Homo-oligomer: A and B are copies of this chain.
Amino acid sequence: MVEKGIHDTPMSAIAKAAGTGMGTIYNYFPNKNVLINEIYTSIKKQEQSLFVNFDSSKPFRTQFEDYFTITVTFFIDNPEYFQFMEQLQASPIITQESKEEGRKSIAPVYELLMIGKQQRIIKDIAIEEILMFIGGAVFSYLRWYFSQTEKQNTSLKNQMALVWDGIKE
């Protein structure tokens, strides 16, 4: 689905890939756009679930790095999710509602950054802006990672350094 682009993947192909019939999909999703939005929020929820038992007793930087690493690893382990997100992040197909919903996945990071700001560990910049920055860095890194023919994720440390040095006070 994701290799040829969501738009160039007919429902028949999606059904086939899902090992089911087309009609079955329509028993669960009223139309293709809803399906896509559901996949979107589903991925976001999976992302979110990674942070549920997050240890807030750890040092701030460790928590930050954990978050970063976990997120990157999640998409490296699920490359098709990455491709999906890349294609749809900016797509008008994704409704405002889904985006809203998706934003929840980063609620823990939001919390974390709030604390970081309060404790003057990180810069005093609008959290939304920092979130965008971090999110952008995650995806930049993944983009770079997947563009490599010989995957070498040793550089994850580099990337985290880039981001950390950027946001830290």
List the interface of chain A (C-beta within 8 A of B): 3-5, 7-8, 83, 86-87, 89-93, 123, 125-126, 128-130, 132-133, 135-137, 139-141, 143-144, 147, 155, 158-159, 161-168
* Known contacts A123-B158, A137-B137, A165-B165; is-contact A92 B132 (Cβ 8 Å): no
Whether B161 pairs with A123 at a CB distance below 8 angstroms is: yes
Q: Is B155 a contact partner of A128 (Cβ separation < 8 A)?
A: no
Contact B143 A129, beta carbon cutoff 8 Å: no
Q: What 8 A-B pairs come out closest when comparing CB atoms?
A: A136-B140, A166-B166, A86-B90, A136-B136, A7-B7, A132-B140, A162-B166, A132-B144
Contact indicator A133/B128 (Cβ below 8 Å): no
Which residues of chain B are within 8 angstroms of A144 by Cβ–Cβ distance? 128-129, 132
Closest partner residue, chain B, to A143 (CB atom): B132
State the copy count for this chain.
4
- Among B91, B93, B159, B166, the residue within 8 A (CB) of A129 is B159
Pick the contact of A155 from B5, B125, B137 — CB < 8 Å? Answer: B125
Apart from A136-B140, A137-B137, A162-B166, list 19 A-B contacts with CB within 8 A. A3-B92, A4-B92, A5-B92, A83-B90, A86-B89, A86-B90, A123-B162, A125-B155, A126-B155, A129-B155, A129-B158, A132-B140, A133-B162, A135-B140, A136-B139, A136-B141, A161-B166, A165-B165, A165-B167
Question: Would you call B140 and A159 a contact (CB within 8 A)?
Answer: no
Contacts of A166 in B (CB 8 A): 161-166
Interface CB pairs A-B, < 8 A, 8: A128-B144, A129-B141, A129-B159, A132-B144, A133-B162, A162-B167, A165-B166, A165-B168
